[in-house]
Amino acid sequence: MASASLFNISSALSSSSSSSTTPLFRLDDRRGLLSFSTCRRKAGPAAAMKLISLKEKKVEAASLEPLPSLEPYNKHSKLCNFGLEKKTTLVPFFFEGHVIGYINPKFLQNLGKFSDVFSLVWDIEGDVRKKIHRKDFGIAFQPTLRTKEERTAAISHVVKTLHFNGHLPKPHGELYAVSTHFHGETIFSLDRSYAPYFGIQGYAVHVNGYVERKGEKKVWVGKRSMSKSTYPGFFDQLVAGGLPEGLTCKENVIKECREEAGIGRAIAERAMPVSILSYEQIEGCKFERYVLFCYDLHLPRNFTPQCTDGEVESFHLLSIPCIKNILETSTKFKPSCAIVTIDFLIRHGMIKPDQKGYLTLLKSLRGGNCL
């Protein structure tokens, strides 16, 4: 249709002109746009159409070149989602008929001594593993613990005792609100370090901070401090953090922006919620389940983040080709931050639907339940 239309335009111009040269449309090789030029009459529309035809063949040949496969990106979602074949062996943690967590049978043995806190179902031989697959088997709070405050105090005593006895790591110092779903009423509060041992659903915010210079996007990434207990020295989002009790996602974004990168409230409030990702992983006695609320923050071109709380060693402004190369050839991003960065590339059109593995990659970014 395009060629026929152009031919009609060229013919009309040719027939209406009486000069020795005729203005014709042609494709500008430098810009790929139609422009006027003058051709000798003896060449006529046929010469112009030949030029257009050659250009179209070049474009068609370029479009047939296969786009790179997305297989190298899949390793990041696999590093977030693993061990799920063991999920059927975990013991559900119930509250009023809802499953709020999952507990490894080995860790469950440590809870048997806290009969004033938990109600456990045991078989005759006292081996919990023999009844794991029964739907009515599980663990629950004792009905005497009627309020959120009572349940929080009770489980706090449990984890402090287990930490003292060497069964749990040191606390993080930040409480998570535990509920049946994201907007549900808080059942109890638990230090974030211990949430995976009870298979509790966690939530976090991740902020992609980027600038645009001369039409090109560049992304600010943080390099995690070498003193971090997990993934020291790995790349991270500009700002990221678990969602503590008592804060909304937006409030947490503003808080983390200030604490981690020295970003003032006026700029932080520009962060836009853009996506939700999730992952699940089972390793040892821990079942880590997270929903990640992703934000994009378009920053001023002259903006430079500041290391303020010691969690980030340095910040780096990386081009999109550089980020893609890191993701394709290495695992230098913390896994959860890698999938957030991949999601950014997809949403901004830098990973394309025509690339092999696109839908598989898209699906893998939501490997867990979003509840």
Domains and their CATH numbers in the chain: 2-63 (no CATH), 84-198 (3.30.750.160), 202-364 (3.90.79.10)
d(CA 85, CA 11): 69
Q: Angle CA(169)–CA(173)–CA(178) in degrees, nearest 5? A: 90
What's residue 371's pLDDT? Answer: 81
Q: Note the pLDDT of residue 137.
A: 77
Q: Give the pair of three-digit tokens for residue 325.
A: 């190369």
pLDDT band at 52 (very low <50, low <70, confident <90, very high): low
Mean pLDDT of all residues in 87-114? 93
Measured CA to CA, the distance from residue 156 to residue 101 in angstroms comes to 16
Residue-wise pLDDT tens digits, 116-125: 999 976 543 4
CA separation, residue 327 to residues 47, 240, 290 (Å):
48, 19, 21
Q: Is the pLDDT of residue 210 over 60?
A: yes
State yes or no: pLDDT of 131 exceeds 50: no
The predicted model gives 316-321 an average pLDDT of 97
CB 257 within 8 A of CB 356: no
Q: State mean pLDDT over 239-246.
A: 97
Residue 31 pLDDT greater than 50, yes or no: no
User: Letter for the amino acid at 17?
Assistant: S
Q: With beta carbons less than 8 A apart as the criterion, state whether 178 and 190 touch.
A: yes
Rounded to an integer, the average pLDDT of 217-233 is 95
In the predicted structure, residue 44 carries a pLDDT above the cut 90: no
What is the share, in percent, of the chain residues with pLDDT greater than 90? 73
Query: What is the per-residue pLDDT for 24?
Result: 37
- CA 120, chain centre distance (Å): 37
User: Among 42-46, 75-79, 187-191, whose mean pLDDT is lowest?
Assistant: 42-46
pLDDT level of residue 55 (50, 70, 90 thresholds): low
Per-residue pLDDT, 51: 55
- The two tokens of residue 130 are 């023999």
- The closest of 275, 295, 302 to 212, measured between CA atoms, is 302
Mean pLDDT check: name the lowest of 10-24, 66-80, 94-108, 230-244: 10-24
Q: How many whole angstroms separate alpha carbon 157 and alpha carbon 149?
A: 12
- Supply the mean pLDDT for the chain: 85
Greater model confidence, 229 or 189: 189
Q: What share of the chain is helix, strand, coil (3-state, %, to 5)?
A: 35, 30, 35
